[in-house]
């Protein structure tokens, strides 16, 4: 029982770290720019299929692939924002039409992937998939057996590094600080001499670029089919809202929380209930404390 519990928590932490990578881009876009990019998980799935394609044809590691493709995703993000800005933000229609727009984009991405790859599950090959790190080999835990599968551990480490990198970028660089200011503090932005549209465009590019990495991590963790992205919509929005809308460290901790909640429910109640966990937490949060757990009140 306790062994199950500890293993579930450990698995939850690893899973949560990966969730942070998925939520990171949305945290910037939704939390800082007030753009409700509900299609963000769909971009993550594009990242997965890109990693799959390169891995299948050239045998390259999925995570390395995703870093090589960062510029492509960055540009994709910039194009997406440009279009969004011209059609909706400039005319003040972002509330209704903007939401429906991203919803439509999400749907188109899903259908396109189905048209190209079908609805079968796809997976990747990498040397670390299939092995585990046994904590018992390092720390004497008595009778407990605690394992860290590498296919979870590697994504966790990459996700933590990327999250840390984005955190440093936002807090230490000129553009990063402009992104933090863009929706909250127009005056500060003007004093910095930054053009809000350019700043938002840049931020959107970064956000979509993180989706490339998250996508590679996703397909390392488990096989992917085109509609998997939908399950992540609730998770990432739950994480971003719980994390306090745009706080990067808050996002990371909220992601760990959701990860642990899911593995606990999966272990003790049943895997088929796990997808509802994040949504349930999200609904309760919205009803009780919409500013999030780590909120800026």
Report the C-alpha gap between 132 and 137 in whole angstroms: 11
Q: Does the protein bind other proteins through residue 99 (CB under 8 A)?
A: yes
Report the C-alpha gap between 216 and 159 in whole angstroms: 11
Task: Tokens for 91, please give them.
Answer: 């005319």
CB-nearer residue toward other proteins: 176 or 226:
226
- Which of 148, 117, 129 shows the shortest CA–CA distance to 218? 129
Please provide the size of the chain in residues.
297
Listed in sequence order, the residues at least 6 apart from 59 whose beta carbon sits closer than 8 Å to its beta carbon are 125
Q: Does the protein bind other proteins through residue 293 (CB under 8 A)?
A: no
CA-angle at 166, arms to 52 and 173, nearest 5° = 140
Report the C-alpha gap between 171 and 179 in whole angstroms: 9
Kindly tell me which residue out of 67, 149, 230, 293 binds other proteins, with binding defined by CB under 8 A. 230
Sign of CA dihedral 17, 19, 22, 24: negative
Q: Does the protein bind other proteins through residue 97 (CB under 8 A)?
A: yes
| Residue 7 beta carbon to other proteins: minimum distance, rounded to whole angstroms | 23
Q: Does the protein bind other proteins through residue 287 (CB under 8 A)?
A: yes
- Which of 98, 120, 100, 113 shows the shortest CA–CA distance to 44? 113
Which of the residues 25 through 84 are near other proteins (CB under 8 A)?
36, 38, 83
CB-nearer residue toward other proteins: 96 or 139:
96
CB-nearer residue toward other proteins: 33 or 148:
33
Task: Tokens for 169, please give them.
Answer: 């970028």
Kindly tell me which residue out of 75, 95, 168, 174 binds other proteins, with binding defined by CB under 8 A. 95
| Residue 241 beta carbon to other proteins: minimum distance, rounded to whole angstroms | 8
Kindly tell me which residue out of 85, 103, 117, 169 binds other proteins, with binding defined by CB under 8 A. 103
Q: Does the protein bind other proteins through residue 295 (CB under 8 A)?
A: no
Upper half-sphere CA count for residue 52 (Cβ side, 13 Å): 22
Which of the residues 243 through 282 are near other proteins (CB under 8 A)?
270, 272-273, 275-276, 279-280, 282
Q: Which residues bind other proteins (CB under 8 A)?
A: 36, 38, 83, 87-88, 93, 95-97, 99-101, 103-105, 107-108, 110-112, 114-115, 227, 230-231, 233-234, 237-238, 241, 270, 272-273, 275-276, 279-280, 282-283, 286-287, 290, 297
């Amino acid at each position: 029982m306790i062994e199950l519990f500890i293993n579930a928590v450990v698995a939850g932490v690893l899973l949560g770290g990966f969730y942070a990578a998925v939520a990171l881009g949305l945290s910037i876009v939704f939390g800082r720019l007030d753009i409700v990019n509900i299609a963000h998980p769909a971009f993550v799935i594009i990242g997965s299929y890109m990693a799959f394609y390169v891995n299948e044809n050239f045998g390259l590691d999925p995570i390395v692939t995703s870093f090589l493709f960062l510029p492509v995703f960055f540009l994709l993000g910039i194009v997406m924002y440009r279009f969004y800005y011209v059609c909706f933000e400039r005319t003040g229609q972002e509330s209704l039409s903007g939401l429906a727009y991203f919803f439509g984009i999400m749907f188109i991405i899903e259908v396109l992937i189905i048209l190209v790859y079908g609805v079968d599950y796809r997976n990747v090959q990498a040397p670390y998939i299939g092995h585990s790190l046994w904590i018992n080999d390092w720390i004497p835990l008595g009778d407990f057996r605690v394992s860290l599968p590498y296919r979870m551990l590697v994504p966790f480490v990459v996700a933590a590094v990327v999250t840390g990198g984005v955190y440093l970028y936002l807090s230490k660089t000129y553009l990063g600080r402009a992104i933090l200011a863009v929706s909250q503090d127009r005056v500060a932005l003007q004093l910095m001499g930054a053009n809000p549209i350019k700043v938002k465009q840049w931020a959107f590019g970064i956000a979509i670029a993180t989706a490339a990495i998250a996508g590679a991590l996703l397909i390392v963790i488990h096989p992917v089919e085109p509609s998997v992205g939908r399950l992540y919509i609730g998770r990432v929005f739950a994480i971003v809202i719980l994390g306090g809308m745009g706080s990067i460290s808050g996002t990371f901790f909220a992601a760990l929380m959701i990860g642990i909640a899911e593995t606990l429910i999966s272990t003790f109640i049943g895997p088929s209930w796990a997808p509802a966990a994040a949504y349930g937490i999200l609904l309760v949060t919205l009803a009780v404390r919409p500013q999030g757990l780590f909120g800026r009140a």
